[in-house]
């Protein structure tokens, strides 16, 4: 294991140089100290792990950090992380593949255990008791073309490490970050925060489910919260483009896996928690605990404000975590009887939007009321707007200035998105959990003169226990329900629909129509709905594809709906 050491180029750096330069881009000097300490500890570990290495890992020049072994070129550093769908053989293959090109490898998985026990999940506690086997495995490790350093706590500083490498090449000012977590509302709130700040003079960007980038120029992303490398590269790119504010969605997966480590989050927002992702989290308590990490200054040292929806039953863990971190804690509520920092004292909805009397009580100021006119549909969008307003105030924008630009707001694509029609009301929404679907239907029911229709399904290869709950939420909130496919992935759509129908009564079957083909289901609702009806196509929202057996086919609910309306002359 003797790497070839070439003279550092203008594009290379060493870990020693990062130790010396770390944190110059961060406002908080403690952050630079923590990264330097982590790197120094890593170097100490390297000297004991790799005693025969002629050149210290700290002094090996490299180009960049990468998490995908397929993207490596000579002199990159590969970071091997544990898989959350454990496959030890695959992890060992990644290790061997990366070793052919990497300057060195940082492994979250014990490489000796990985090479010796490839059939055991990489997160297992592996003990090598056979001295001879251990010696052979050590020889295998030493024989690799590059050094492999075991860093079990790499996620604790990986984001900062990646950002430090980017900043070493060209220092830029990073945008202030507002992060939003919760089951529902993340996309809308993050986009509203970006719009409010941009409309009041800040250059803003977003990162999340509906896409990443500057407002009006979003690029679709594969995950709500990308991996550490993607997140830090995007943050850096926004700094290069001189964005002053980045509003991002913090998924529970992203928080649990520390993908946002090193992000300079200043304001954290909590929306709500309802059943979702229980194919990943063991239970709702674990799900809530993952969300609460966003309010912990130990994870996000630059936090100043926590904004929490106190109408949600899981709010207390967020409040407790925020108070323990000594943050400025503001709350919001749709209940006029509650003593929240931002309260919707009056709500007057219409199909054109909503009028709100906003009552505020913050920073020892007298309680004030201000009238707001919002173009956003739905009662739940009032809650989303309150959260966005609170974030904008936390960033130093006056409430009076905010109120003047609210009429210019636009809802996120696929969130209560109205598709034009000559008669009837047709809406596309991303609601894909029982709670979200219930909220959408409840919000629209008050506007509906005729019947309220809901067209939706459930995704395949996900929490099957949610399926009958989704059906019951639709049947409870709508007059007519069309059950159909969502993204079936590798499952049979008919089997998913069968799961959804569990427990349905004969009365509910009379109000339901089962149609596995999503396009046909949408066309059915368009043909059957009367001029006074409201039809909601739920579950996919902004998505422009339908995933079937690992293939993504073009499918945009809003486009399919528009075509169906044109076919029957309703536009």
Instruction: Identify the CA nearest to 148 among candidates 48, 46, 69.
Output: 46
Rounded to whole angstroms, how far apart are CA atoms 396 and 332? 18
206-236 residue pLDDT tens: 999 888 999 888 887 766 678 999 999 999 9
CATH of domain 417-568: 3.90.190.20
358: pLDDT strictly greater than 60:
yes
pLDDT at 183: 87
Q: Give 282's pLDDT tier (boundaries 50, 70, 90).
A: low
Instruction: Quote the Cα angle for 262-265-269, to 5°.
Output: 135
Mean of pLDDT values over 147-151? 94
Question: Which uninterrupted H or E stretch holds 139?
Answer: helix 131-142
22 or 567, higher pLDDT: 567
309: pLDDT strictly greater than 90:
yes
Instruction: Identify the CA nearest to 106 among candidates 169, 158, 171, 178.
Output: 158
Tell me if 277 sits within 8 A of 284, measured CB to CB: no
Rounded to whole angstroms, how far apart are CA atoms 99 and 79? 11
pLDDT at 32: 54
The Cα-based distances of 267 to 287, 401, 489 in angstroms read 21, 19, 36
Q: What pairs with residue 553 in β-bridges? A: 546
pLDDT at 107: 95
Mean of pLDDT values over 246-260? 92
531: pLDDT strictly greater than 90:
yes
Mean pLDDT of the chain: 89
22: pLDDT strictly greater than 80:
no
pLDDT at 136: 78
Mean of pLDDT values over 534-538? 97
5-17 residue pLDDT tens: 333 445 899 999 9
275 or 197, higher pLDDT: 197
pLDDT at 169: 87
Mean of pLDDT values over 450-471? 96
The Cα-based distances of 535 to 142, 429, 558 in angstroms read 64, 11, 12
pLDDT at 23: 52
140 or 509, higher pLDDT: 509
Q: Where would I find the beta strands (DSSP E) of 495-533? A: 512-514
Q: What pairs with residue 148 in β-bridges? A: 105
Q: Give the residue numbers of the binding site for meso-2,6-diaminopimelate.
A: 462, 486-489, 539, 543
30: pLDDT strictly greater than 70:
no
404 or 143, higher pLDDT: 404
- Give backbone dihedrals phi and psi of 47, rounded to 5 degrees, phi first: -65, -30
122-139 residue pLDDT tens: 444 445 455 567 777 888
pLDDT at 51: 81
394-418 residue pLDDT tens: 999 999 999 999 999 998 888 889 9
Q: In CATH, what class is 172-408? A: alpha beta
279: pLDDT strictly greater than 90:
no
Domains of the chain by residue range: 13-159, 172-408, 417-568
pLDDT at 33: 66
Mean of pLDDT values over 452-480? 96
90: pLDDT strictly greater than 60:
yes
Q: Give 45's pLDDT tier (boundaries 50, 70, 90).
A: confident
pLDDT at 31: 52
Give the β-pairing of 211-214 and 204-208: antiparallel
Q: Give the residue numbers of the binding site for ATP.
A: 182-188
Q: Give the residue numbers of the binding site.
A: 67, 69, 182-188, 224-225, 251, 257, 259, 462, 486-489, 539, 543
Mean of pLDDT values over 430-452? 91
Mean of pLDDT values over 307-315? 96
Give the β-pairing of 452-456 and 353-360: unpaired
């Amino acid at each position: 294991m003797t790497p070839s050491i070439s003279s550092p180029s203008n594009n290379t750096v060493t870990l020693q140089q990062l130790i010396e330069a770390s944190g110059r881009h961060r406002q908080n000097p403690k952050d630079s100290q923590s990264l330097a300490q982590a790197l120094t500890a890593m170097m100490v570990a390297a000297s004991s792990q790799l005693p025969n290495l002629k050149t210290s890992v700290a002094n090996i020049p490299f180009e960049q950090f990468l998490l995908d072994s397929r993207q490596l070129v000579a002199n990159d550093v590969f970071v091997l992380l544990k898989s959350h769908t454990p496959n030890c053989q695959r992890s060992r293959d990644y290790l061997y593949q990366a070793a052919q090109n990497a300057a060195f490898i940082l492994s979250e998985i014990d490489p000796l255990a990985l090479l010796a026990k490839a059939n055991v999940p990489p997160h297992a506690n592996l003990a090598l008791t056979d001295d001879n086997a251990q010696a052979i495995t050590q020889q295998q490790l030493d024989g690799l073309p590059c050094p492999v350093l075991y860093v079990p706590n790499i996620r604790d500083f990986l984001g900062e490490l990646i950002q430090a490498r980017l900043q070493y090449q060209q220092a830029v000012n990073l945008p202030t970050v507002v992060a939003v977590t919760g089951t529902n509302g993340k996309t809308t709130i993050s986009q509203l925060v970006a719009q409010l700040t941009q409309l009041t003079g800040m250059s803003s960007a977003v990162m999340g489910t509906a896409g990443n980038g500057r407002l009006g120029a979003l690029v679709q992303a594969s995950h709500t919260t990308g991996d550490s490398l993607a997140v830090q590269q995007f943050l850096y790119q926004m700094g290069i483009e001189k964005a002053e504010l980045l509003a991002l969605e913090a998924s529970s997966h992203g928080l649990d896996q520390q993908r946002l480590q090193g992000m300079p989050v200043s304001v954290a927002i909590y929306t709500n928690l309802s059943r979702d992702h229980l194919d990943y989290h063991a239970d709702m308590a674990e799900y809530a605990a993952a969300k609460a990490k966003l309010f912990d200054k130990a994870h996000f040292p630059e936090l100043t404000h926590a904004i929490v929806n106190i109408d949600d039953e899981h709010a207390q863990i967020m409040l407790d975590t925020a108070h323990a971190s000594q943050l400025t804690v503001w709350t919001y509520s749709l209940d006029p009887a509650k003593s929240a920092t931002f309260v919707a004292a009056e709500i007057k909805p219409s199909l054109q939007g909503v009028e709100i009397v906003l009552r505020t009580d913050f920073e020892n100021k007298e309680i004030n009321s201000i009238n707001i006119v919002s173009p956003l549909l739905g009662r739940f969008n009032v809650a989303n707007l309150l959260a966005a307003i609170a974030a904008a105030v936390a960033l130093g924008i006056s409430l009076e200035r905010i109120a003047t630009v609210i009429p210019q707001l636009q809802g996120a694509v696929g969130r209560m998105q109205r598709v034009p029609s000559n008669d009837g009301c047709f809406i596309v929404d991303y609601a894909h959990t029982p709670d979200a679907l219930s909220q959408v239907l409840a919000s629209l029911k008050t506007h509906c003169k005729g019947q309220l229709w809901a067209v939706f399904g459930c995704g395949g290869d996900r929490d099957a226990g949610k399926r009958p709950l989704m059906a019951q939420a639709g049947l409870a909130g709508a007059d007519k329900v069309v059950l159909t496919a969502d993204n079936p992935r590798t499952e049979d759509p008919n089997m998913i629909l069968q799961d959804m129908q569990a427990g349905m009564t004969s009365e509910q079957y009379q109000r339901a129509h089962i149609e596995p083909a999503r396009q046909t289901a949408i066309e059915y609702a368009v043909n059957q709905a009367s001029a006074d009806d409201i039809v909601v196509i739920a579950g996919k929202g902004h998505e422009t594809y339908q995933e079937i057996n690992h293939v993504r086919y073009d499918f945009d609910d809003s486009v399919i709906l528009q075509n169906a309306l044109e076919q029957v002359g309703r536009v």
